[in-house]
Amino acid sequence: MGDLDPQRSIESDPLLKAVLIEILRIQPNFNAEPFFAMTGRGHMRSEGVLQLQELKRLAKQGGEGSDS
């Protein structure tokens, strides 16, 4: 795998392609600069809080059927 052109590897492998899509999808939540290395504390604009609040609200309304 390491000997292949990495761009081709990503394009031809569904897992690698999914990872690249995810990296680009979550990119707006991250600072470009390496703050974690500089400060020992990372930074991320969380998309999870609102999503989770909404999911919990929906779960309360409709029950937890999808989670069993």
Partner 1 sequence: MDRKRWLEKFAWTVVVEMNRQACLAGKVAHEPRADGHEKARSAWEAAMQQEQTFREAVELCRECHRLAPFAFFNGNTFAGIARVLGQQVSTEMGTTKALMFRNAVGHYVAGVIDAKEYDHICGRIMSDSK
Residues engaged in binding partner 1 (CB under 8 A):
1-2, 6-7, 9-10, 13, 15-16, 18-20, 22-27, 29-34, 36-37, 40-44, 46, 48, 51-52, 55-56, 59, 64, 66-68
Give me the least distance between CB of 13 and partner 1, in Å please: 6
> How far, in Å, CA of 35 to CA of 31, rounded?
8
Give me the least distance between CB of 60 and partner 1, in Å please: 11
Rg (CA), the chain: 18
Residue corresponding to tokens 């000997």: 3
